[in-house]
A and B are shown apart, each in its own frame.
Chain A
Amino acid sequence: GAVVSQHPSRVICKSGTSVKIECRSLDFQATTMFWYRQFPKKSLMLMATSNEGSKATYEQGVEKDKFLINHASLTLSTLTVTSAHPEDSSFYICSVNDHRSSYEQYFGPGTRLTVT
């Protein structure tokens, strides 16, 4: 399967600042990437679908101006949490759509965001 990395694995930031999370597809070109958010003891919530070279598609209830997604290349998508607040603290996970078997998603290791 595809190999996906995320950076950083863990980040602590102060309220009001912005933080960028990177998701990289290491061994193939990913036209589609997904961003999820996972609360403690909860399932994964799809935030948005990131398509290379076009605007991301956000799920209902997700603020696109707060969670900026950029998929500038076939191997990199970034999620920027702008003006972070403590309630944005969560585990953020990305996945890539393997075009070789388009229905499969491979997940990154996740990024733990803590906003103080």
Chain B
Amino acid sequence: AQSVTQLGSHVSVSEGALVLLRCNYSSSVPPYLFWYVQYPNQGLQLLLKYTTGATLVKGINGFEAEFKKSETSFHLTKPSAHMSDAAEYFCAVSDIRGSNYKLTFGKGTLLTVNP
């Protein structure tokens, strides 16, 4: 079975500071990994994904994440936080063995950005 652990349910940074949201996964097969962002009372928006190939992936809004197989990690970073980055962030792993690619989500990390 697959699982995702997001360390830190709440991360608070100052505007302009580095954002680091941690995600570790467990998977018996090579994982497909995703980061989604959710603003209040809205659905989820895909930030970035890793499937194969380059382990450093870049996404929208200046975010990037690095797949580290040895550490089973897929941490999300952004060099300089903006107020508009305040939201809930979810890391997810896809079960590629089935044809439907079901997603397993972490519990989420709420990012607050202080002026």
Residues of A bordering B, CB below 8 Å: 1, 4, 6, 32, 34, 42-44, 46, 49, 51, 91, 93, 95, 97, 102-110, 112
The binding surface of chain A is classed by DSSP as strand
Contact flags B58-95 to A (C-beta < 8 A → 1, else 0): 00000000000000000000000000000000100010
- How many Å lie between the Cα of A25 and that of B44 in the bound state? 15
Partner of B107, one of A43, A102, A105: A43
Contact of A107 among B45, B94, B101 (CB under 8 A): B45
A115–B41 alpha-carbon span in the complex (Å): 17
Identify A49's interface contact among B102, B104, B106, B108, CB under 8 A: B102
Residues of chain A with a CB closer than 8 A to B90's CB: 43-44
Known: A6-B43, A93-B43, A103-B94. 4 other contacts (CB 8 A): A44-B44, A46-B103, A103-B101, A110-B42
Contact of A43 among B32, B41, B101, B105 (CB under 8 A): B105
Tell whether A107 pairs with B103 under 8 Å between CB atoms, given A43-B90, A43-B108, A44-B90: no
Q: Given A43-B108, A46-B102, A103 and B96 touching (CB < 8 A)?
A: yes
Closest Cβ neighbor of B94 among chain A residues: A103
Residues A44 and B96 in contact in the complex (CB < 8 Å), given A4-B43, A107-B45, A110-B43: no
Taking a contact as CB atoms under 8 Å apart, the answer to whether A97 and B101 are in contact is: yes
**B43 A107 Cβ-Cβ under 8 A:** yes
